[in-house]
Structure 1
Amino acid sequence: MNITEHLEACKALIEQLPSQPKVQLFSGTLTAENIKDLSLDGQRCYVLLGCGGGPIPPKKERMGLECDAVFGAFVVAKSDPDTKGVSRQAMTTANEILIAFDNYRGNIKTNPNLPELQLIEELFSGMKGNTNFSAWQVVWTQRIKLS
C-alpha cells in the first residue's frame, strides 16, 4: 500500500459513515474563499480529504521504506438557521470520522501501526466571510509502508 492507496481506502471508509457525506480528495489549505464554490445542498456534508506527506523515520525505527503521513478530513456543511454559524451536521460528521479512524489501520500487511489521532476542531463558523458554511477538521497521522 502507498499513500494514494491508503487515501482511497480512507475515502471509502468515510463514504460509508451514517451521515453519508460526499467525499473528494483535496490538496491545500481550507479557507472560506476556496469553499465558496462547493455545491452544498444542506442534506449532507462535504468532506475534503487530503494527505500532506510526512517525515521518514530513521531506518532503525522502521521496517522497510515507511512514512509517518499526516492526513486531514475537512468537513464542510451549511450552518444551521437557528444558530450563529454552527453546523450540527458538520460537528456530527467530524465526530463520526474521528471514531472511525480511532482503530482503522487500513491494509494490515502494509500499515504497521494504527493511526494516531491528532485533533478535531472547528476551522471557521458560518459567521466568517458571510459564507454560511461551517467547517471542521479531523487530523491524524499514520505510518504507511511505501514499498
Structure 2
Amino acid sequence: MNKEILLEWDSKHSAMKRTKENYWKTYRKWRDENKGEYHDTFMGKLYDEFISLEERAIYLNYSFNKTEAVVFCSIDIFYIEERIGTYDIEFFLNGEIADDYLGFGDVLFKDRMIKVKHNIKTARSALKLGIEVSDISKITEIPLKHIEILKEKYS
C-alpha cells in the first residue's frame, strides 16, 4: 500500500483524530479507575494541561496467523515536552476499532518523570517567592507557556 492510499484511508475513517480523542478517554478512565496504579506510575498526579500528543505513525499490518489486516495509528504522549509514553489504536480496514494500547513504561520513563516533577516543584516554589516567570523558565527549562499556566492555576 502506498502512502497516499494509507493517508486517504485515514482521512475517510478519521483514524488519527479518533486515536487522539480515544487517548483522552482511555487515559481518564485508567486514571479514575486505577488511582493507585496511576499515582505509582507518575509519582503523583499529572496536570492535564501539560500533556500533549503528537502523531507518530500509521501503518498497515498483516499477520499470517490472522484472517484480517489491520491499520495501526500511533501517537507519542508528552508531558512538558518530555516523551512519557505512547498510545496506539488497531483499526480493522472498515474503520472499526479492534483494540487499543496505552503504554507508559520505557526504560528512561522514571528518570524523565523525576526530572519533570522536580522542575515543576521548583517552578511552583519560585512563583511563590515572586521570581519572574521568564527567569523560572530559564532555570527549570520548562517552556514559558507552562510556567504561565502554573502561575495562573496553581499558585
State the TM-score, normalized to the length of structure 2: 0.36
Query: Which protein has the bigger strand share?
Result: 1
Query: Which protein has the bigger helix share?
Result: 2
Greater relative contact order structure (CA < 8 Å, 6+ sep): 1
Give the number of the structure whose alpha-carbon radius of gyration is greater.
2
